[in-house]
Structure 1
Amino acid sequence: MFPQKISALLVFMLATGFIGCASTPPNAIPIAQTANPAAEIEKTQKLINEARERQMDVLSPTNFTKAEQALNKAIDKKSSGKSNEDILEQISYSRTYLKQAADSTQLAIRQLPGIQDARRGAMIAGANEAYPRDWNRVGKELESVTKSIEKGNLSPSDKKSAAIIGEYRQLEIDAVTKRVLSQADNNLKAAEKDKAEKMAPRSYTAATMKYQNAAKIIAANPRNAMAINKASQDATRESLHLVEVMNKVKQGNTEDLVLQSEKQQRAISSLRKENNMNEAEMNEMARQQAELQRSQMLINQAANIRSQFKPSEAEVFTEKGRVTLRLKSLQFPPNQASLGRKNEALLERVNEAIETTGPARVIVEGHTDSTGNPNRNMTLSERRAKSVQDYLVANGAVTLANVEAVGLGSTKPVSDNKTATGRAQNRRIEIIIEPLSR
């Protein structure tokens, strides 16, 4: 059952002929034959413009269209020199259709509570331009319902009212989101493509949270301009920071190094502004930052070299500002220093790894286990280190001027000499790479 008030209005409109419009409206609003056609045309055009502002063109589309058509006929008749009677007749029809449109619009507003506000909000947000297909689709759904209302059929509006209003509300939210968060959204998508969630998780999380916060504020109230402006600026700024971090990470830095460096730069800048940092303190902070960057560079170099070897072939680590390449699978014949063909494949990759670092200096260390005469072990370890040194020089990884071969015998074991496994681990070559200062 319809509410009693709406039912009464509907019966009234059916009885007076305001629903189900004919080509010539019944009960046309009379206009005095002495009226000035030009003034009446101008007045009617103003009424139509006001009706469009009230969205009567979509809430009573048939009546509104006929009102416009009748006014256009009046204008054409005036231009053609027709009689004032003919012109005023069309103006009368136009105003009658406008009256019917106004009555039908009131019923539509009752049937679709909030439709004017929802549609106006979506339009102000620019949904008609941002999402033209969705805008037109929802517009057609609304037109179908309001045309049914004009004919006295309220059933479609009972079924579709909430859905149509909800779609306009969502279009407003989507349009505002697109307008204020598009840059942040694009930055996040680009970062996700570069695997930012894995490579820069802290920055990615911060940017994502700022974006989600702004989106929630918009969804809660897309017209809260002050809160939306602040939240969207925060989201955009955080997304730009993520892009900057990712650019540095892709150059070989870690996120931790980038963030630490930024923190130090902010601290230096802040202290400079406050004039509380003397030259010695500034130099010390700059030194710490340079040391941090150098440490990260070493870590990156070690990781790059490590990726070129299997764990059974070599161990790579950083120590005392240098990268150490411990060759685990390099084997010599007992009591000999000749490299042999079986070591060539490994040494070729060692040679390539050293070349990529562009070292300032390379030290080749030879080590033995504790079995046998210590002096002989020292000599043997030196000869083996010299063999590797010769190979690296011959193959271009280093020059003779920046490589040194050192024999350390059994003085620096890495495992227990009491077991066969431990002794095997102690018989090794270690290559220490000192990087260029940067």
Structure 2
Amino acid sequence: MSPQVRNPIRISLVVFGLLMAGCVPPQTTGTAVTGVRDPSTVESPANLVGQLSNDISRARMAQVNVLSPGWFKKAESAFFRAQQNLERGNKIADIRRDVMASRDHLQRANEFAVISRTTLEDAIEAREMARNAGATSFEKEYRRVENDFLDLTRAIERDNLSYAQKNRSMVIDRYHELEVRAIKAETIGEVRTLVARAEAADARRLAPLSHDQAVTRLNDTDTFISSNPYAKEEMLSMAKEALFEARRLVVITELSNRVKAMKPEAVVLLLEEHLHSISAALGAPDMRDQEYPTQLENIIGSVNSLKSDRTFISEKNQALQSEMETLKADYQAQIDALNVRVATLEGKTREDQMAKERMARERMAAEQRLAAERKFNQLYVAVRGYFQTDEAEVYKKENQLVIRLKAMRFPVGKSLIMPENYALLSKVQKAIRTFDDPRVIVEGHTDTTGSDEVNMLLSQQRAEAVREYMIANQTLAPESISAVGYGSERPLASNATSAGRAINRRIDLLIIPEAKPI
């Protein structure tokens, strides 16, 4: 295409991107375009790099790295240079130069991401559905389709909308094909494996009702997928139900094998032990001398009481926060009124008064920064004391607190949080609540075992699992905690050794204290 033809397209794209950016609502996790703050409002180089790190993370969560891969790569490269200059104590001018370059590139990436979202809306949806179904497990096939998708977004970056519009249908069809394959091979395949495992343990005889229910779910799901290849939501829903029933069948069969050789009293005592351990953990009365329905009611009532108490505490905290905000506003209004009176009584001109107020604000800002640093250091020391050295590493990174969960373990290839992690996550909740309404980013990281696509998705799913656990336990409001997966992109050690790979498989939590207004 000649320059004479390309220039109007480029101008149109930029104007369209700016108009669309103006219509996009405030950024929310995974959907909106990341805002870029004016670096002149941040004073220290550490704050500049810290805020840029947050913006880069939010952009990645918003998929800007795939919607505008070229400009995002430039932004991230400039950010890494700024980070290295900060760590090495290089000139402030060099740090600011790299930060500004990164922000310029990130702004361009955001503008093209807006256009990609509009132009490739159906392709983006197909990609997400394929990934959620497990299509990344077909490493070679998925990589080919992903490269085709990136060709579309790169074409948009080159002002070649016609290429993206012409080829997006082909990419959508390939994602759909992978999605159906993934549903059958991954979800239904696992169901078949689990049912076969249960049958080998004599499930047909020991658990006939559970076996029939699991097999029926499996057959219904397989038939439905074959007959309705584009009914995405129904397929996923049925596949999840079939997988649940298959896992349940395995558990019931294994327990049936365990109790078949036991005497009736031993079976009853085992059940009683389980009920009693739950009631004891809840602090409920010992009701082993009562009928089983009464014991169950005792446990359920205790759980409901704890839920009610948690809700009450949450509502009370919200009311106190609202009251504090009101008092703060009243106090500021009184200060403003007194300042006006002082200016009037002293016969100060408006210019003198403004200069006086500016000096007072600058002094107050300096005092607040020092107070915030002191408080942050105190909280840092407190949080470090919550964890054993083999559980987590706690350190400061600019104006953030990082908790690296060394003892966090997931099943191989899964994102399910196992009960053995609850005690560690309870300490994490305590650490988060030590701060006053902070913002938290959960980062998932893997080693290089497996493909980049599988690692990226697995790290995102594990970070999301930790985020959902925190939300379910009312640690923070959903809008205050986000999750991002980095796959194997940010290793801490060499992936050439098993010890290094173990270090690289991790969950990091970034606690970002609330910035107090001056």
Larger radius of gyration: 1
Q: TM-score, structure 2 length as denominator? A: 0.35
Q: TM-score, structure 1 length as denominator? A: 0.41
